[in-house]
Amino acid sequence: MLHAEARNFYKGSLLWAVFILWSFPGRSQVTGDTLKAVNVIGAHTLRGVNDTRMKSFSAGQKIKTIDSIVTQQYQLQNIGNLLSQQVPVFVKSYGFNALATLNFRGSSSAQSIVVWNGIPINNAALGLADISQLPVSLFDKVSVAYGSSAALLGSGNVGGALILENDKPLFNPLPKTSVSAALGAGSFGQYLASINYRYSNSKWYFSFNSFGQLADNGFQYKTLSGDNTTNINSRLQSGSIMLQSCYRLNTSSTIGLSVWYQQYFREIPAALFESQSLKNEHDNSLRTLLIWDHKKKTTRLYAKAAFTKDVMTYEDNAIHLTTANTSYQLYAEIGIEQKLSEISNLLIYVPVQIGWIDIGYATKDQDRAALVGAYDIRFFNRKLNIAATTRGEVINTQSILLPGLGVSYQLNYWLSLRANVQRTYRAPTLNELYYSPGGNPSLKPEQGWNEDAGYTINRSISPAISIHHDVALYNREIRDWIIWFGGAIWTPHNIAIVRSQGIETENKILLDVRKWHFHLGVNTANVFAIVESSYIVNDNSIGKQIPYTPLYLGQLNVGFYYGQFYFNYNHTLTGYRYITTDQSEYLPSYNTGNIQLSYDATIHTSAVTLSVQINNIWNNSYEVVAYRPMPGINWLTGIKFRFN
């Protein structure tokens, strides 16, 4: 049986649905800007994502672009904090400003991908991305694609995708410059700064984004014996720089270069079962991207090439241990997008991805090449949208076919339906195969099918009240699921079948009363990721939830903006997580309350924003990952200047 809090969450979702349905029989009108702050998911053409693959060829898939009003409140924070408070996905955090990974719908960390301006940036060796190292201020758009997009984004995308984008270059007849700078300070010795610069004229576009952070992270917590102590060996220092340039070759062609470098140094504090820690980790990443784009009338041609180098150095001075892990990745893609008619489009592209690591005595690599086709067509006055995709991919010597089909239908002006089916596949990562000690060269690839369906309601009850309501149901079966377990040395193993099923809801009410604009939003997610069969004799995990998959998640956002003042209260609920495969141990559920405040002012020709964030205002004690304490109440304040 579900925990009492989960049952309460179900009741809340049902009450919300009843309220929504009860509201609809009344007359209503739709105005052009009534839903301007709502993330419209069901209406395929209204998505905010820029990526052509996801924007135009992913009918039937749930994609959410986080509102810019929301991302502005997190400009001095990382992507992990943003998602954990605003999107119903589980962010597995190992501590304050420590490693954080994504868990989409009960998937593992390696089954989710992060895409930056169309290229994957998961570590080539680990197969995952640490989203705590991604500053919100570096990106103009943050979107989440739920479920598999393996045909479009590549094998390995089993659970979902985080899509990070920078705005496309805009050229101006006259030179135009904009500059913004922000400074912040907060609890535990936090100091942050960011600078964003843009310049454009009729031929050139330049942008410069940077972010830096220092923190002591010396918060207090309770030991296993109940004594109060202070977090030590917990300093953090990070810096990121992103440079982008684009040249307009002619009216239809551009060529652009992006360079993104970041370094991240953090000490690793002792876990609750350790008496001390002298560990630290130093990460360096270099990402470069070259894009050529040509668009004329009904045809678009493009080519892109990217190189990524990730260096991870781990030290434990208590035992004089130093290990370095360097991975490399080359990615290239050429494609053509063709408008076939007023109702149909075709996309064909060829991506090639090469990743390799040096394990001391040898170099290990993983090569991927694919041919992808996507066809999108609309019927019945564009109300019915069908997208068929297929990907033929070769991974080293293994050939796979990944078909997908998505359908969305605008039943009337306020209700849309959607459904999507996709074959999924994930080859073992280089670390899973070759890490020493612990790698398992005999691992089988994960493979299966993902199905999801849902509906979206966007309706104005009156000129002052509008509603957004979305429900998603999903089912995923993965064979040969890869999971790490062991004693002194952990090793990845295949377990036979894991089935993930669940329901997600997103609900929002907007109320405009003269100069007051109120919002109330509730997001819920229930996830069941169950081991159905196993290769291991007498495996006690059969019929049990995959470790570190919360049974339920919930988020509440309520607030308003009046004139230049913005207020939001965010409350998150994360259900209990089993931490053993046989469900013999679990972490209790936890709640956190968070407040975002901001005020915009104008001083001469400059715009100034003052902001305050207070996290965990109820000072709750909790752990996201076992034996890794999280801080109590903490705050962050900032000031941002914008010059045009």
* Cβ 83 vs Cβ 102: under 8 Å: yes
Say what the pLDDT of residue 159 is: 94
Give CA–CA dist 135/139, Å, rounded.
8
- Token pair, residue 548, equals 């570190």
Q: How confident is the model at residue 417 (pLDDT cuts 50, 70, 90)?
A: very high
Q: Please state the pTM of the whole predicted model.
A: 0.91
Asked whether the beta carbons of 255 and 246 are under 8 A apart, the reply is yes
Residue 569, CA distances (Å) to 67, 592, 614 in order: 16, 11, 10
Position 39 confidence tier, pLDDT thresholds 50, 70, 90:
very low
Task: Tell me which CATH code domain 4-182+197-211+230-643 carries.
Answer: 2.40.170.20
Mean pLDDT, the chain, integer: 90
Please say if the pLDDT value at position 97 is more than 80.
no
- At residue 24, the pLDDT reads 38
- Torsion (CA) 62, 445, 481, 158 in degrees, nearest 10: -10
Distance (Å, whole) CA 493 – CA 471: 35
pLDDT for res 25: 36
631/81 Cα distance (integer angstroms): 13
Please give the Cα distance from 527 to 105 (Å, whole number): 6
Which has the minimum average pLDDT: 38-42, 252-256, 623-627? 38-42
Which tokens hold the place of 381? 């006055």
Residue 277 in tokens: 């820690």
pLDDT score at 98: 87
Checking if the pLDDT of 42 tops 60, the result is no
Predicted local distance difference test score (pLDDT) of residue 11: 44
Which range, of 131-140, 204-213, 604-613, averages the lowest pLDDT?
604-613
The domain locations on the chain are 4-182+197-211+230-643
Least confident of 34-48, 87-101, 429-443: 34-48
8 Å CB contact between 421 and 169? no
For position 20, what pLDDT does the model report?
38
pLDDT digits (tens, 9 = 90+) for 180-193: 999 999 999 999 99
Phi and psi, residue 15, nearest 5° = -60, -40
Neighbouring CB atoms inside 10 A of 515's CB total 8
Predicted local distance difference test score (pLDDT) of residue 419: 98
Q: Residue 234: what pLDDT?
A: 94
Residue 10 has pLDDT above 70, yes or no: no
pLDDT of residue 438 exceeding 90: no
What pLDDT was estimated at residue 48? 79
What's the confidence (pLDDT) of residue 537? 83
More confident residue, 187 or 34: 187
- Give the per-residue pLDDT at 367: 96
Question: Other C-beta atoms within 10 Å of 627: how many?
Answer: 15
Return the pLDDT at 17: 41
Task: Give the Cα separation of 273 and 224 in Å (integer).
Answer: 8
199: which residues sit within 8 A by CB, 6+ positions away?
A: 175, 176, 177, 205, 206, 207
Question: Is-contact 132 156, C-beta < 8 A?
Answer: no
Helix, strand, coil shares of the chain, percent, nearest 5, are 10, 55, 35
Backbone angles phi, psi at 368, to 5 degrees: -130, 135
Q: Note whether 111 and 89 are within 8 A (CB).
A: no
pLDDT beyond 80 at 13: no
